[in-house]
Amino acid sequence: MTPGRTSMNGVKKQNLPAKICLQCRRPFTWRKKWARDWENVRYCSDACRRGIRDCP
């Protein structure tokens, strides 16, 4: 139950583009909802997009 640096849940090598979130600095991969606007996507989630930090 330890959070690993990389996901060990079976690596699926799909040719999906990836970016790094400007807010949380975590890499995220292409999602279908961003199909139209992938070039402008800079955040992994709406929370990051709004600038909400997930730090208590």
Cross-strand pairs, 27:
20
Applying CB under 5 A, the span of 3-11, 18-26, 31-39 interacting with Zn ion comes to 18-26
The answer to the question of residue 41 lying near Zn ion (CB under 5 A) is no
- Closer residue to Zn ion in complex, CB, 10/54: 54
- How many chain residues interact with Zn ion (CB under 5 A)? 5
| Contact residues: Zn ion, CB under 5 A | 21, 23-24, 44, 48
